[in-house]
Structure formats: C-alpha cells, structure tokens
Amino acid sequence: MKRLLLALALIAGPALAVNPDEVLDDPVLEERAREISAELRCVVCQGENIDESNADIARDLRLLVRERLLEGESNDEVIDFVVERYGEYVLMTPTTEGANLLLWLAGPALFLVALLGAGAYLRGRSREAEPAPALSPEEEKRLKELTGE
Amino acid sequence: MITELGHVALILALAVAIVQTVVPLIGAHKGWSGWIAVAAPAANLQFVFVAASFAALTWAFVTSDFSLHLVWANSHSAKPMLYKISGVWGNHEGSMLLWVLIVALFGAMAVWFGRGLPPRLKARVLAIQGSIGVAFLGFIVFTSNPFLRNDFVPFDGNDLNPLLQDPGLAFHPPFLYLGYVGLSMAFSFAVAALIEGRVDAAWARWVRPWTLAAWVFLTIGIALGSWWAYYELGWGGFWFWDPVENASFMPWLFAAALLHSAIVVEKREALKSWTILLAILAFGFSLIGTFIVRSGIITSVHSFASDPTRGVYILGILAFFTGGALIIYAFRASAMEARGVFSMVSRESALVINNILLAVSSFVVFIGTVWPLFAEMFFDRKLSVGAPFFEAAFTPFMVVLAIVLPLGAMLPWKRARIGRVVRPLLPALVLAVLVMLLAWTMQTERTILGPVGFLLGVWLVAGAATDLMSRTGRGALGNRLRRLTRLPGADWGKATAHAGLGVTFMGVAGLMAWDSEDIRVAQIGESFEVAGFEITLADVRREQGPNYLTTMADMEVRRDGVLITELHPEKRVYPVQAMPTTEAAIHYSFWRDIYLVIGDPQEGGGWAVRTFIKPFANWIWMGSFLMALGGFFSLSDRRYRVAAGATKAQIQGVPAE
C-alpha cells in the first residue's frame, strides 16, 4: 500500500509551474524572464501563459526564454524568436497589425460614438426643459437667510 | 423508480411550460381573462415539476445510484456528501437542470410576489418566462437527458473532477445561475412591456428588484469563483480574463448598467427605450455566456463537459430570444416616449455616463473574448487575446468610472451645479490624495498602479461616506448621526455598494502592485525569509484523505521570532481520475495573505516551495461582499413594497380595453 501511495504521489507531476531549478541566479534577468513568460501562451493549455502552466512544453519554453536571455538577447528578440516558431498564437497580447486594429480600436471608437449619441440625446432633453425663472437678488438674500448659509 | 418519476416530471414540466407560454399570450392579446388566469397556476406547476425532477436527480447522486449514467460518470461512493450534492450541477446535464429549475423558480416567484402587477402584464411576463423554460426544458429532454440509465450497473463511479471538489466551487454555479437567470425576469418584463407598448415608473419599480437580486447573486457567484481560483489554482491569481470568467462578467456589467438606468425610468420617466434595450442585452449576454461555457467553442480552463452539437442548440436559443426581442424592440421602441426633461449637468446625465462606461467596457470584454474566433473565421489568423489586452483595454473605462462616480452620485436630479457637488467632496478628495502620497512614499517598486488604485479606491469610499452623510441634512453632528440610522435602505445600499467598489479597487491595485514571491528548494528543517516573514519547512508527510492521497507539508511562519501561524500546503492526487491538484495553504489576514505552495521533492533532497505574500488580497472579496450587501440593503427598502402597493390601486383603476 505504501509503495502504491508513493507511486501515485509521483505521478502528481510538477505543481509549481516555475520550479526552483529553472530560476536564474541574476534577479534582474529572472525578473525579465518572468515578464516575458507572462506574455507567452502555453500552446497546449487553455488560455494559460507559460509562467502559470504546469505543462511540460511550458517548462521547455520557460527554459528556452531564460537561455536566450543569458545569451544577451533583448525581451523583444526572445519573444520574436518564440513567435517565429509557434506563430502569433503564443502572444498573450494580440498585435496591432492588420485586422487586429479593429480589436484594439473597437472599444474607444464605440465609446466616442456613445458619447456623441448621448450628447445629442442630452441636448435634446435639456432643450425641452423650460428655463427656470431666475431669483431676484432679494429672493437670493432671503433664501440664504432661510438656509442659514 | 424515483429516477423514472424525475424523468416524467421533466417531460410534464415541458408540457406545462408550453401551455404557460401559449395560453396567456393569446389571452392577453384577446383580453380573455380565463386564458390570462392560466399563467399563474401554470408557472407554479412548472416549478413544482422541475423541482421534483431536480430532487429525483439529487436523490440519485446522494444514494450513489450508479445505474444512472450521469451519476456514474460524475460521482463516486467515497466522495464526501457535500460534493455528492454539488456533483448534481458539476456536469453539463445537471447544471442545465439547475438552470431550468431557477428559470421556473423565478417564474413562480413572479407569481408569489407579483400580486400588484396588472393581470395582463403579469400574464405576458409569465408567458415570456415560460417560453425560456420551454427552450431549455426542450434542450434538456432532447439533447442532454440527465436520467439515462446504464445498460449494466457499474461497481463504482468515475468521480467528480477534483478541481470542482471544493466548497467555494460547490456554491459558485448556483449563485451564478441565480444571477444569469434572474436577468431573464428583466428580459421577460422588457419584452412584455414592448408587447404592451408601455413603460412607466411603475414598470421600472417592478423590474428593479429583480435586476438588483440578479446582480447581487452574480456578484456573489463571481466573487466565489474568483476566490476559488485564488486559493485552488495555486499561483495566487484571482482573475484570468478567461472566456468563462468573461462570460459571467459581461452580464454583471450590463446588470449594473440596467440597475442604474431603471432608476432614471422610475424617478424621471426618461431613458425608457434604452433601459428596455439593456434588459434585452443583459439576458442576451447571459445566454452568450451559457453558449460559451456549454459549447466549448472558445477554449477555456473552466469548460468541462462541453459539446459542439449542444452548442448549436444553445446558439439557436440565443438567436431566437435575443434576435426576436431585438426585432420587437425595433418595431415598438418608438412607442416609449420619454417625459422627464433635465439639463446637461444632472443626476440623469451622470447615470447616462455610468451606462455608457459600463456598456462599452462590457463590449470590450465581449470583443476580446470572441476575437480569436472571429480572427480565425474571417481572417484565417490563429491568435490569442490574453490578460494583457483586457488590462490595457478595459481598465481605462473603470478608472474613468471611479473618477466620475462620487460626483455623479451626489448630483441632484433635473438640474445641478458642479461646484455645489464638488465642495462637500473636497475632504474626500484630499484624503484620497494623501493616501496616494503615503502609498507612493512607502512602496519600493516604481509602479504607479498601487498609488493610483488607492487614490481611486479611497475617493470612492470617502465619496460614498460623504454622499451618505449629505442625506442627513444639516444641523448638529449628533442629530445627523441619529438621522443616519433612519435613512432608507436604498441610501445605505447605494453608499455600501459604491464603497464596496472602492474597496475592491484597492484590493486589486494592492495585490497587483505589491505582492512578493519566492521560489526555492527548502530542506526539511530549513528556514528562509520572505518580505520580513521567517518561514520554516518543518516536515513533509504523506496522508490519505477520503477519496484522495496527499503530500502535506508542515510549515511555520514567524515574524520577529514570534510564531504567527502553522500552515499545511498540500499536493493531492485523486486516484479515480488520476489527477493531481495543488492545495495552497493560506493565512488570511486583513492587510495581507501568506500563501504557501508545496512542490516536488528535489533530486538533491529537499522540496520545491513557493511563497507569496499578497497584500490586500482579501479586500477584493471584501469589496465584492460589500457590493452584494449594498444590493441587499436596497432590496430591503420599504419604499419598494409600499410603492408597489400604492401603484396597485392606481393601475387597477385603468379600465380593460
């Protein structure tokens, strides 16, 4: 029974995503590696980035990222390297190229349209409003007395 | 036997739902009171049948009746009772049955609490609600029958996905569904109003409590789900912008918008057709959410039991209800004439801004969620839209919302002067800026996220407090405080919910800006330091749970030599599903959480250990709880019940055509 327990515990696999043996000694480089990892999608997972994923391929990619960083590449160079191999699918942040502009601009554009529409509507509503008669100076004074200002 | 009774009850419920849809609709159109009167008992009966069916399925799960295919596939005799019960909705068929149960429940509740409704409107509301029941009951009976038997009875079951065996997730789906389906009430009221061709203050007063309740349930459901992700998935994130999370977030945003626009209809008889449109969209997005989760068309960590053919059916339901309602809307919306007039600077305008921000931000979430699908279908590009997109595209709207909210909340109706509102809010603004500066000087990182989040959060909380105090009028502080306790529930609800949003803002900003993390190999007996805490790995044991095996670490956390807590992070394996899970051990406290995860044994001895110190983490859920609580306060407002009674007499005076 005990051996069975041990065997079952071992199939558990990595539980940590980033494991201690992957971590670079240089904290600055490691910080950069984590930043890059958060930008790269684990290709076999469902919507996880490689920094969060327990999958083997995510681990391979994490190691690859760190290797390239140690070779002195910049963040963008590392990301480009991975994108060249796996396609833009691995990018967690979609690019702004081509049709993706629609994705990025849809929100702000709709916001502007909505503001213009609402502005027109509000103007219409307020034009219908009858102008309130202004208070005479005496009335203002009396009002101040009454409200104790 | 009980199973077969459940099956029959389900089919009878479908039959009753068809009657509930057809008869009152015709009756209301022709003015036949006998046909109108069918609606109420039909709604009650439908609820009874669906409840019986649900009870039968629950019974099968509780008694581990493995002759049922569904029980066999999703349960196990060794599973704790709580998860046997939550297993009922931890799968596709059962969760759809729960969905329909809640549709029927809301329909029946409209009968129980809807005494003051004009009979014709009530008949139409119940008929629309019934038609939603027909669609989903048909879906269950014809494509996802939970009562299928196995040819031979297996010895034991397949167990439930271990990730779902968790108290947080046991109650997450019911709350979420109460929210989704609660919006069906707003939808039914909207479509009924379109058919009637009339929307007035009384209509808004009937719709608001339903929307409010739905929004409260959605808030609780989403918060539970996010909390679950935080402690269960093992890396301390709380929101992943995953399609399924977005699916619940979009209706939440729309429900929040609807809640506010319904206030304008109720108080000022303006924004009528917009409110109707929001009600249709809010439920439409609930259906889109169901479609996304159930079809698996957009891959997600959460989509269990997904099936494309079922997706097509739900897509049909979605197209029918949303499309149908929008067509009626196109023809009838012009009949909704606005009456209230107001100036550019007024509470009304502020609520319009609120609606724009909430609706547009929800649209951003929507387009980000479906974009991968679009890009593949139309542009032949396989791409991902991940958290960084949503953080960049969604957050600005929330920032603007937070800036505007305290001002808008205090603007008077009809006509206002900005200066009048800004003056009482100055102390709140000063406090917010001071807290920001304090956060700025105390932090070691250079990120602006934390201080800005706290600026907005404090501004919201202090603004809500200012708003509440302003309701007590003038005079001595003592008198004002006494008056504070007598303020109506709606005032307290508004202030509490707005303050809750501020608390959540601070939680999110604090957690994202200032968390510290440590990954290392620790030998047994070794101590290490993370962000001022001394953490010791005392021992690692292997233990056996009711239906799992576990590797459990004993870890001690000290600060300045004083023991704060002992934590036991675990790594579990559920042998039936051969699936490992991480059970992080968390020491919750007001200012920060200590979050420990145990990893694998290392080759050179020792264990991989991951430590997070997560400041303000609890504030995220505390804020969500406050928002939900605010909703409850508003629901408890006497004015709803009193006003509902008052309008009843007035409406009954209208002669039948």
Q: Which residue has the tokens 């394996």?
A: B573
Chain B partners of A62 at a C-beta cutoff of 8 Å?
A: none
Q: List the beta bridge partners of residue B269.
A: none
Contact in structure between B51 and B136 (CB atoms under 8 Å)? no
**Mean pLDDT, to the nearest integer, of B423-451?**
87
Whether pLDDT at B502 is above 90: yes
Q: What is the DSSP string of B55-67?
A: HHHHHHHHTT-TT
Q: In what order do the strands lie in the sheet with B607-615?
A: B516-522, B607-615, B592-601, B585-587
d(C-alpha B180, C-alpha B171), whole Å: 15
Q: Say whether A129 and B415 touch across the interface (CB within 8 A).
A: yes
Of the CA atoms within 13 Å of residue A25, those in its CB half-sphere come to: 1
Question: Encoding tokens for residue B582?
Answer: 């991480």
d(C-alpha B137, C-alpha B170), whole Å: 23
Among all residues of chain B, which has the CA nearest to that of A132? Answer: B415
Higher per-residue confidence, B104 vs B441? B104
Considering only the beta carbons, identify the residue of B235, B341, B599 that sits closest to A129. Answer: B341
Q: Which of A 16-75 lie inside 8 A of B, CB atoms?
A: 16-21, 23, 38-39, 41, 45-49, 52
Contact in structure between B280 and B323 (CB atoms under 8 Å)? no
Question: Encoding tokens for residue B651?
Answer: 């409406």
Among all residues of chain A, which has the CA nearest to that of B575? Answer: A8
Among all residues of chain A, which has the CA nearest to that of B380? Answer: A99
Q: Look at residue B640 in the predicted model and tell me its pLDDT.
A: 64
Chain B partners of A53 at a C-beta cutoff of 8 Å?
A: none
Q: Look at residue A133 in the predicted model and tell me its pLDDT.
A: 60
Specify the length of chain B in residues: 657
Q: Look at residue B297 in the predicted model and tell me its pLDDT.
A: 63
Higher per-residue confidence, A22 vs B395? B395
pLDDT tens-digit map of B239-287: 888 888 898 999 999 999 999 999 888 888 888 888 999 999 999 999 8
pLDDT tens-digit map of B24-72: 999 989 888 889 888 999 999 999 999 999 999 999 999 888 888 888 8
CA distance A141 to chain B (A): 18
Helix pair angle (B449-470, B489-514), 10° resolution: 170
d(C-alpha B265, C-alpha B259), whole Å: 10
Quickly state the pLDDT bin for B421 (edges 50, 70, 90).
Answer: confident
- Rg (C-alpha) for chain B, rounded Å, is 27
- Count other Cβ atoms within 10 Å, centred on residue B472: 18
Q: Say whether B344 and A123 touch across the interface (CB within 8 A).
A: yes
Considering only the beta carbons, identify the residue of B240, B300, B385 that sits closest to A94. Answer: B385
For strands B516-522 and B562-567, give the pairing: unpaired
Correct CATH for A2-90 of 3.40.50.300, 1.10.8.640, 3.90.1150.10, 3.30.70.260: 1.10.8.640
Domain boundaries, chain A: 2-90, 100-147
A-B contacts (CB, under 8 Å): 176
Contact in structure between B555 and B535 (CB atoms under 8 Å)? yes
Among all residues of chain A, which has the CA nearest to that of B582? Answer: A15
Considering only the beta carbons, identify the residue of A6, A89, A148 that sits closest to B383. Answer: A89
Among all residues of chain A, which has the CA nearest to that of B243? Answer: A47
Q: Look at residue B651 in the predicted model and tell me its pLDDT.
A: 41
Whether pLDDT at A10 is above 70: no
For strands B585-587 and B592-601, give the pairing: antiparallel
CA distance A71 to chain B (A): 23
pLDDT tens-digit map of B629-640: 999 999 988 766
Q: Say whether A92 and B387 touch across the interface (CB within 8 A).
A: yes
**Nearest CA to B158 among B574, B510, B509, B541?**
B574
Whether pLDDT at B311 is above 80: no
pLDDT tens-digit map of B329-351: 888 887 776 677 788 888 888 99
For strands B607-615 and B592-601, give the pairing: antiparallel
d(C-alpha B515, C-alpha B508), whole Å: 11
Instruction: Find the helix or strand (DSSP H, E) in which B228 lies.
Output: helix B201-232
Whether pLDDT at A116 is above 60: yes
**Nearest CA to B198 among B63, B87, B335, B374?**
B335
Conformation bin of residue B632: beta by default, left when phi > 0, alpha when psi is -120 to 50: alpha
**Mean pLDDT, to the nearest integer, of A62-78?**
91
Q: Look at residue A8 in the predicted model and tell me its pLDDT.
A: 44
Q: Look at residue B50 in the predicted model and tell me its pLDDT.
A: 96
Quickly state the pLDDT bin for A129 (edges 50, 70, 90).
Answer: low
Contact in structure between B293 and B247 (CB atoms under 8 Å)? yes
**Nearest CA to B74 among B141, B158, B130?**
B158
Quickly state the pLDDT bin for B641 (edges 50, 70, 90).
Answer: low
Chain B partners of A35 at a C-beta cutoff of 8 Å?
A: none
pLDDT tens-digit map of B96-149: 999 999 999 999 999 998 878 888 899 999 999 999 999 999 999 988 888 988
Q: Is A90 on the interface with B (CB under 8 A)?
A: yes
Q: Say whether A9 and B340 touch across the interface (CB within 8 A).
A: no
Whether pLDDT at B191 is above 50: yes
Tell me whether residue B335 is exposed, middle or buried, using C-beta atoms within 10 angstroms of its C-beta: 0 to 12, 13 to 18, 19 or more. Answer: middle
Considering only the beta carbons, identify the residue of A39, A47, A98 that sits closest to B301. Answer: A47
HEC letters along B456-489: HHHHHHHHHHHHHHHCCCCCCHHHHHHHHHCCCH
What DSSP character marks residue B334? G
Chain B partners of A93 at a C-beta cutoff of 8 Å?
A: 386, 388-389, 392
Q: Which residue has the tokens 């950069």?
A: A32
Contact in structure between B530 and B611 (CB atoms under 8 Å)? yes
d(C-alpha B132, C-alpha B255), whole Å: 19
Quickly state the pLDDT bin for B305 (edges 50, 70, 90).
Answer: very low
Quickly state the pLDDT bin for B472 (edges 50, 70, 90).
Answer: confident
Among A16, A30, A127, A146, most B C-beta atoms within 10 A, so best to mutate, is A16
Chain A partners of B599 at a C-beta cutoff of 8 Å?
A: 14-16, 19-20
- What's the mean pLDDT when you consider all of chain A? 81
Considering only the beta carbons, identify the residue of B235, B389, B575 that sits closest to A94. Answer: B389
- What are the CB-based long-range contacts (under 8 Å, 24+) for B638-644? B638/B488, B638/B489, B639/B488, B639/B490, B640/B205, B640/B208, B640/B209, B643/B205, B644/B116, B644/B205, B644/B206
Question: Encoding tokens for residue B62?
Answer: 């509780």
Higher per-residue confidence, B420 vs A114? A114
For strands B585-587 and B533-544, give the pairing: unpaired
Whether pLDDT at B508 is above 90: yes
Contact in structure between B384 and A92 (CB atoms under 8 Å)? yes
Among all residues of chain B, which has the CA nearest to that of A52? Answer: B235
Question: Encoding tokens for residue B108?
Answer: 């029946």
HEC letters along B534-554: EEEEEEEEEEECCCCEEEEEE
Specify the length of chain A in residues: 149
pLDDT tens-digit map of B357-390: 999 999 999 999 989 888 888 888 888 898 899 9
Chain B partners of A111 at a C-beta cutoff of 8 Å?
A: 356, 360, 397
HEC letters along B229-241: HHHHCCCCCCCCC
Distance between alpha carbon B403 and the CA centroid of its chain, in Å?
24
